[in-house]
């Protein structure tokens, strides 16, 4: 920033501090963040649809289906070149990267993240990558809000709240579902729901949806009005749907995780690009409905016209036969997550929100068709309702966000007539998936490492605490060969602490500790000063803290189980310092105050 601009901006900050309170300024920033999230959604959606219309609508429609095989490889290749030569940083998946920034980087996101997804996600999805745009939109808005927060010197809790506002704004602008967007930000980003946090979320969601209406008009991704009302007798079938939604969610999570681990073992990005690009190219060529996000497929199913998307299947099955349709729909459910995981593994940039809705809608439609055609019912159940409720069920299971799933489908359908079936299916699906997979796809990696921010306030505060800020290193060290006299004159007399770490002079490793109580009975007897050595009185500490391994939750547990007041900290076996229980609790209390403001 030029010097003149810095001076002007500094004056602006001073004026703001004098005339606008922190709370009001937060409201203004939340409106700005909602607007930027809405604009980000507009740019990403329009770019993606431009590429899709140019490629799928022209080349494939008027020339040959073989282009389906080529497009994903070209798109992923372009993404690779942009990341390597233009962005020059790795562009991670949208929502997981945002959660990581909140958990480990205090809500600070790098500047390239503001445009990284805008440059890469439209190429990934527009050229046939089988992923969604919701994650990149959230990541873009979150990065912008993070950098706006830093520019105006907001603290960590405010930065995290504004990132949540960006997430709410992104979802609100995409689906035109402002209430579900707020719930999404609270559930997925584990925001603490208070009056202080609710109003900024409302303002951001409102700002984003107005922006969306301004650019997109009344167009919505899932245009549907409920015509078939809920019937009490359908409750058992919605419960069955919940079970299958849970099983589908488990399948989604397992396949995604295993394919990602296969790609993680590949050391070359070019190898990942070729393997994943060719894999997704083959799948999209054989199964064209897997191309891109898949909202056209979902809308066809909701309208009750699956033949629109299944008529050109490679097996040439008769789509007027219901069982042929069921077989093809099951195939789409099975292969969608494979296509999505291959897209991510190959270096594509996108999100899993759309694939989740895609699989849920097809699963719901498939279950309804089976129930209606096995001859058990005189009055058929509503296939369109099951399609919508299936979306909510799989979303609740995969994302571990049952409330978001319920309110999103309720809002996009224009009413709450399906509220009871949405609750039944989402609750059952979430419970089954949560039992098998404690963490959602978004949180799996962070959850395994213990870095996940949760709604458990104690755990969240511990996760946000910095270990470096609680380590004390002004303890006087001693060596095992020192005698009692040297220890008294060189350590005890000069120290205000009652614990002394015993260190190996050669490699700096911790050999043990000596407490003042260990030598209190002999330290005043000069006749023992040369006879007693440190190694004679030292002992093993009750536990140790590994700096590279232990998280704050582990440290707190070690203090609780050992009953110690001080525990030594080691880094690769070398002594670093001590963490004292009093310092740990002091920092914890300060962080708790910041967290709950």
pLDDT for 286-301, tens place per residue? 888 888 888 888 888 8
Output the six-digit token pair for 119.
Answer: 């440059």
Asked if the domains at 3-216 and 460-595 fall in one CATH topology, the answer is no
pLDDT in tens, 491-528: 888 888 888 999 988 888 888 999 988 888 888 888 88
Phi and psi at 474, nearest 5°, equal: -100, 30
Give the confidence band of 304 by pLDDT, cuts at 50, 70, 90: confident
Residue range 556-579: mean pLDDT, rounded:
86
Q: Which of the four pLDDT bands, split at 50, 70 and 90, describes residue 452? A: low
- Tell me the percentage of the chain whose pLDDT exceeds 70: 89
Architecture of domain 232-455 in CATH?
Orthogonal Bundle (1.10)
- 439 backbone dihedrals φ, ψ, rounded to 5°: -120, 150
Residue given tokens 């001073």 in the structure block: 14
The pLDDT of residue 461 is: 56
2: left (phi over 0), alpha (psi -120 to 50) or beta: beta
Sign of CA dihedral 457, 462, 466, 471: positive
What gap in Å lies between CA 238 and CA 424, rounded to an integer? Answer: 7
DSSP state of 351: B
Q: Which of 444, 409, 211 is nearest to 302 (CA)?
A: 409
Residue 574 has pLDDT above 70, yes or no: yes
pLDDT number for residue 415? 62
Q: What are the residue ranges spanned by the domains of the chain?
A: 3-216, 232-455, 460-595
> Nearest-5° angle of CA 41, CA 138, CA 418?
85
In this predicted structure, which of 75-79, 170-174, 322-326, 580-584 has the lowest mean pLDDT?
A: 580-584
Give me the architecture of the 3-216 domain, per CATH.
Orthogonal Bundle (1.10)
Beta carbons within 8 Å of 53's beta carbon, 6+ residues apart: none
Give the mean model confidence (pLDDT) for residues 323-332.
Answer: 88
Angle between helices 269-286 and 235-264 (to 10 degrees): 140
**What rounded mean pLDDT belongs to the chain?**
84
pLDDT (0 to 100) of residue 447: 53
Higher pLDDT, 98 or 226: 98
Residue 459 pLDDT greater than 60, yes or no:
no
Give the H/E segment covering residue 224: none
| CATH code that applies to domain 460-595 | 3.10.580.10
CA distance 482 to 492: 13
| pLDDT above 70: residue 65 | no
Looking at residue 456, its pLDDT comes to: 47
Phi then psi for residue 568, to 5 deg, are: -75, 150
What's the predicted TM-score (pTM) here?
0.77
pLDDT digits (tens, 9 = 90+) for 104-126: 777 788 888 888 888 999 999 98
């Amino acid at each position: 920033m030029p010097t003149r601009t810095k001076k002007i901006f500094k004056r602006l900050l001073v004026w703001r501090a004098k005339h606008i309170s922190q709370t009001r300024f937060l409201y203004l920033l939340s409106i700005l963040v909602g607007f930027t999230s809405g604009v980000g959604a507009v740019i990403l959606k329009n770019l993606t649809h431009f590429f899709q219309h140019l490629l799928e609508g022209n080349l494939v429609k008027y020339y040959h289906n073989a282009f389906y095989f080529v497009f994903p490889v070209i798109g992923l290749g372009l993404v690779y070149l942009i990341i390597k030569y233009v962005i020059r940083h790795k562009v991670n998946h949208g929502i997981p990267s945002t959660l990581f920034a909140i958990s480990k980087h205090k809500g600070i996101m790098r500047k390239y993240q503001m445009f990284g997804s805008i440059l890469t996600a439209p190429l990934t999805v527009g050229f046939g990558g089988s992923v969604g745009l919701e994650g990149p939109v959230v990541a873009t808005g979150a990065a912008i809000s993070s950098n706006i927060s830093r520019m105006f010197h907001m603290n960590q809790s405010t930065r995290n709240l504004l990132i949540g506002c960006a997430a709410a704004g992104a979802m609100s602008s995409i689906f035109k579902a402002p209430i579900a967007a707020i719930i999404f930000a609270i559930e997925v980003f584990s925001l603490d729901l208070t009056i202080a946090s609710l109003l900024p979320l409302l303002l951001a969601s409102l700002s984003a949806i107005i922006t969306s209406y301004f650019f997109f008009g009344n167009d919505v991704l899932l245009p549907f009005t409920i015509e078939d009302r809920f019937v009490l007798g359908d409750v058992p079938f919605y419960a069955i749907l919940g079970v299958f939604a849970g099983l589908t969610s488990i399948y989604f999570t397992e396949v995604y995780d295993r394919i990602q681990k296969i790609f993680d073992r590949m050391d070359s990005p070019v190898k990942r690009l070729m393997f994943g690009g060719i894999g997704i190219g083959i799948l999209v060529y054989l199964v064209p409905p897997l191309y891109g996000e898949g909202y056209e497929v979902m809308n066809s199913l909701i309208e009750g016209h699956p033949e629109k998307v299944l008529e050109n299947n490679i097996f040439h099955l008769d789509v007027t036969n219901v069982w042929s349709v069921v077989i093809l729909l099951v195939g789409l459910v099975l292969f969608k997550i494979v296509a999505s995981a291959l897209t991510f593994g190959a270096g594509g940039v996108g999100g899993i929100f759309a694939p989740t809705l895609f699989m849920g809608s097809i699963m719901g439609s498939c279950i309804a068709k089976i129930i209606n055609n096995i001859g058990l019912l005189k009055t058929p159940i509503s296939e369109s309702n099951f399609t919508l409720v299936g979306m909510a069920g799989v979303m609740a299971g995969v994302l571990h966000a049952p409330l978001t799933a319920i309110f999103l489908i309720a809002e996009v359908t224009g009413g709450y007539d399906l509220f009871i079936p949405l609750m039944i299916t989402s609750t059952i699906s979430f419970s089954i998936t949560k039992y098998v997979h404690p963490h959602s796809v978004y949180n799996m990696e962070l959850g395994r490492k213990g870095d996940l921010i949760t709604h458990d306030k104690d755990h969240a505060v511990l996760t946000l605490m910095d270990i470096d800020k609680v380590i004390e290193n002004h303890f006087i060290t001693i060596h095992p060969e020192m005698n009692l006299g040297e220890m008294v004159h060189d350590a005890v007399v000069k120290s205000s602490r009652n614990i002394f770490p015993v260190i190996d002079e050669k490699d700096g490793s911790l050999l043990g500790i000596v407490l003042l109580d260990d030598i209190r009975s002999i330290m005043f007897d000069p006749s023992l000063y040369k006879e007693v050595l440190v190694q004679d009185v030292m002992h093993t500490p009750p536990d140790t803290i590994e700096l590279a391994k232990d998280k704050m939750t582990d440290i707190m547990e070690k203090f609780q189980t050992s009953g110690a007041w001080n525990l030594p900290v080691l880094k690769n076996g070398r002594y670093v310092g001590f963490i004292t229980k009093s310092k740990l609790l002091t920092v914890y209390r300060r962080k708790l105050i910041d967290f709950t403001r």
